[in-house]
Amino acid sequence: MGEYVIRRILEMIPVVLIVIVFNFTIVHLAPGDPAVILAGERATAEYVEATRKRYGLDRPIHEQLILYLMSLMRGDFGDSLAYHRPVLELIVEKIPATLLLVLTSQLVSMVLGTLIGALSAKKYGSRTDRLISFTSVILYSMPVFWFGLILILVFGITLRWFPIWGITSPEMQLSGWGQVVDILWHLFLPVVTLSAAYLTPIFVRLSRSSVMEVMKEDFIMAARAKGLTENVVFFKHALRNALLPTVTQAGLLLGFVLSGALMTETVFGWPGLGRFMYESIFRRDYPTLMGLFIITSVCVAVASLITDIVYALLDPRVVYK
């Protein structure tokens, strides 16, 4: 097991390297002077020159790449053009909010999606099955941010049940449990958006097909032949085995989940990576956008590593190679 984890961690190195080389190439292929891109279009001539020195942009290209790699290793992702603070610091501050949104939505979607998908498979071909399939393909076809806007219109602006912006209500000056409830209240619409229009339909589909596959297995026939009731066969034998492929897929979908979260945050002013990215696009803050690309890639790689380990722990049939 230990060996497997180490091997997986080593496998992350090429991912990170490729991402870094991508970043480097983009800046050098971009029209204009790389130093101006990194220093900002409105920077003074001195600041542009200082930036050129800092990244060694006056040296040969291979030296530049090595310098860039080394500064990234030291945790130096450059300074944000908008905040004049280190990019890495700013990004790390935004991670918890995104994590809260992603994990909550992922959990809700996995539980709901698996159950709905299993129900659909159990009633295969029935009216219920068709209704579930059609609803999930409709939800899946919506732009996630549009669904968010509609929820804001209906539940935020018209009915006034939920707040439409941010993560807390600073004007209420809450603390302790009051603050927790306040955050959950703000979390509700973003989670519904990300789950309903993005994640749950995928899990419904995955779980439906995987339950249908499992129902064809010999051990299901054996369970039926033993005279077990259909419910026992379904819940104890079929559903439990059908869960595993769903977990694997969940691991593969992380990059996709992150994209959805970024868009959802934008609509709800959720103060995580997505909102930060949106602001950085507006402010043409390229060092921040580049940092965001590296950090989100690392996050996805780490999260997929964790998923693989959890999967290996759940399924005794998995052999570590």
By CB under 8 A, name the binding residues for another protein: 11-12, 14-15, 18-19, 22-23, 26-27, 30-31, 37, 121-126, 133-134, 137-138, 140-143, 145-146, 149-150, 152-153, 157, 211-212, 214-216, 220, 230, 234, 238, 252, 254-255, 258-259, 262-263, 266-267, 277-278, 281-282, 284, 286, 289-290, 292-293, 296-297, 300-301, 304
The string of DSSP letters for 223-281 reads HHHTT--HHHIIIIIIIHHHHHHHHHHHHHTHHHHHHHHHHHHHHHT-TTHHHHHHHHH
Looking at the Cβ atoms of 146 and 161, the one nearer to another protein is 146
Cα 64 to Cα 198: distance, rounded to the nearest angstrom: 41
Compute the least distance from the CB of residue 291 to another protein, in Å. 10
- Toward another protein, which CB reaches closer, 52 or 156? 156
Q: State the nearest-atom distance from the C-beta of 314 to another protein, in Å.
A: 21
- CA angle centred on 201, ends 196 and 204, rounded to 5°: 125
Q: Which is nearer to another protein, 187 or 211 (CB)?
A: 211
- Which residue number, 57 or 277, has a Cβ lying nearer to another protein? 277
What is the three-class DSSP state of 78? coil
Under DSSP, the state recorded for 79 is B
Task: Give the gyration radius of the chain's Cα atoms.
Answer: 24
Q: How far is the CB of 237 from another protein (least distance, A)?
A: 12
For another protein, the closer of residues 187 and 201 by Cβ is: 201
- At its nearest, how many Å lie between another protein and the CB of residue 168? 21
As measured in angstroms, the least distance from the Cβ of 298 to another protein is: 9
- Among 253, 290, 279, which Cα is nearest to 102's? 253
- 294, 72 in Cβ contact below 8 A? yes
Closer by beta carbon to another protein, 179 or else 188: 188
- Nearest-approach distance from CB 174 to another protein, in angstroms: 25
Residue 96's SS3 state is helix
- Determine the Cα–Cα distance for residues 86 and 79; give it in Å rounded to an integer: 4
CB of residue 234 to another protein, shortest distance in Å: 7
The token duo for 289 is 């956008």
Q: Cβ closer to another protein: 107 or 154?
A: 154
Q: Which is nearer to another protein, 4 or 293 (CB)?
A: 293
Closest CB 287 distance from another protein, rounded Å: 11
Helix 2-29 vs helix 286-314: crossing angle, to nearest 10: 160
Q: Quick one: 12 exposed, middle or buried, by C-beta within 10 A (0-12, 13-18, 19+)?
A: middle
